[in-house]
Each structure stands twice: as C-alpha cells, then as structure tokens.
Structure 1
Amino acid sequence: MNVPIEVMEEKLRQAVLSSNVYALEEMLADDLVFIDPAGRSLSKAEDVEVYRRGLVSVARFEVIERRVRTLGDIAVVHSLVAISGRALGTAFDGQFHQTRVWNVQSGRWRVISAHASAAQR
C-alpha cells in the first residue's frame, strides 16, 4: 500500500496500452465490476479475456485530467482521458470519463470497480 495511487494508475494505463494481461490480472480484483462505454457489465475474467484474445487494442491513452481521493485503504480516481484503438473490430477515438475505485487487498492496491463513459465535446 506504500505505492502512491497515481503510480498504480500509470501502471494500469501502460498495461492497457500494451495489452499486458499478466499486469491486468495482478491489478484487477477478482470481484471487479467494470461498466464499459457501451454500458455492459464485465467481470475481471471477461475484461482480461478481451485483451488476451486481441478483441481490444489501445493505440493512444492520454490522461487529460485526473482527481484522486484516498480514504484509508480505498482510493477513488476520476479521470478524463483521450483514447483511440479498436474494439471488437471497430475503430474508436474519443474522450472518456473514467471512474476507478481501488482497494488494498493483501497489502496491494487493486481495482474493485470501474466505469467508463463517453465525454461530451
């Protein structure tokens, strides 16, 4: 838990950019609930599987702004990001609001909940 949450956020960003399934599995809690931009609810296994199978690839992932609030062993991160890539064979490029809730589990930060939605331009 001594690792600043901003460092964990950067590690997660790099894991998404490189489709590093091992890193994603380490950072995502087993009981993760992720609501993707299409409104689908994904488990950790489902989220990791799309990267493992190459169904999602991210070419650009830039953080425009980020706010972090840490409350003991919980951290809430709100970000505005610019992301482009391909998902399920379709190209995407846009700005998204992301919310992630991190929790310390077995002495390490892990994402327990995440949500992404398209930002209004």
Structure 2
Amino acid sequence: MLKHLLGGSLLCLAFCQCATVETQKTTEQYIVQGAREWAESVATGDTTALERILADDFVGIDPKGRFYTKKQMLADTRNAPKYFLSNRLNEVRVRFFGNTAVAQGYETWERRSGQPRRGRFVWTDTWVKRNGQWQIVAAEDLIAPAL
C-alpha cells in the first residue's frame, strides 16, 4: 500500500513539474511575441499589442532618463513611423521569478533620416501576472550602436 501511495505521489509530482515547465514555455512564447509586436509597432504605429501588454500602471524609463507612462507610450508609438523606417526584434531572454518575469533583449532600427541612421534599442521589461494576465509593469530602454 505504501509503495502505491509513494508511487502515485511521485507521479503526481512529476506531472505537476511538467505542467509548470509547459506553462512557463507558453508564457515565455507570449512574452517574446509581445516584445516582437512592440518592436514592430515602432515602424507601423499600431498600438493594439501595447494596449494589451502594458499594464495601466506601467512606467518606463527612456534612453534620456525620463519616465513615461502607458498613455505616453501609446501616443509616441502612433507618431513613431514618422521617424522610423523599420524596427526588428533580434533577441529576447526571459527569466521567471514566480508571478514575475524579466525579459531582456535588443532590437535593430533604421531611421527615416538623421544620424545615426541605424542603431539598437537594448531593454529590460518587467512582466507581472495579475488576475491571470501577464503584462509589463516597468521598462528601461537604452540606445546602443548598431552591431
């Protein structure tokens, strides 16, 4: 009897761990897709993804050290195609800490005019799961030279 109970407990534990890993993979894919959509929105001006992935209390820090809110980011994104010809996500790394995830990555962009013509956004986004939904609550952005 004890063997069956122990065996069943181990099977349950293994299943729960597999389910957690699978859920984490699915969440990581969601976060990477959100990062891709945000990157692409810089060239398209489409804020649909940002309205979904940015929390209402979101606060970011831009490359000049200024704070910005979700409302400001949505407005800036709508105007971004005036300045950016393209913006492409290159790499994202995601780490989980319970109901918090830290995503770090970089994007390459090309401006319509001005110098430098090409460069990279390097960033860190903090995602939190609230009410069953993953959203970005904080972001920090840097501008780096093109590789």
Q: TM-score range by the shorter chain?
A: 0.7 to 0.9
Matched, 1:23 2:49: yes
Q: Which amino acid aligns with 1:72?
A: G
Q: 2:11 is matched with which residue? A: none
Q: 2:123 is matched with which residue? A: 98
Contact in 2 for aligned 1:8/1:109 (Cα 8 Å) = no
Give 1:35 deviation, angstroms: 0.9
Matched, 1:9 2:35: yes
Q: 2:88 is matched with which residue? A: 62
Q: Which amino acid aligns with 1:7?
A: Q
Q: Larger strand proportion, structure 1 or 2?
A: 1
Give 1:82 deviation, angstroms: 1.0
Number of aligned positions between the proteins: 117
Q: 2:137 is matched with which residue? A: 112
Give the CA RMSD over aligned residues.
2.5
Q: 1:11 aligns to what SS in structure 2? A: helix
Moved more, 15-24 or 96-105: 15-24
Moved more, 29-38 or 5-14: 5-14
Paired with 1:74 and 1:40, the residues of 2 have a C-alpha distance of: 24
Q: Which runs of 5+ in 1 are unaligned?
A: none
Contact in 1 for aligned 2:126/2:138 (Cα 8 Å) = yes
Q: 1:16 to 1:109 in 2, by over 3 A?
A: farther
Q: 1:80 is matched with which residue? A: 106
Among 19, 38, 59, the residue aligned to 2:64 = 38
Larger radius of gyration between Structure 1 and Structure 2: 2
Paired with 1:118 and 1:68, the residues of 2 have a C-alpha distance of: 20
Give 1:47 deviation, angstroms: 1.1
Q: 2:68 aligns to what SS in structure 1? A: strand
Identity of aligned residues (%): 28
- TM-score normalised to the size of structure 1? 0.77
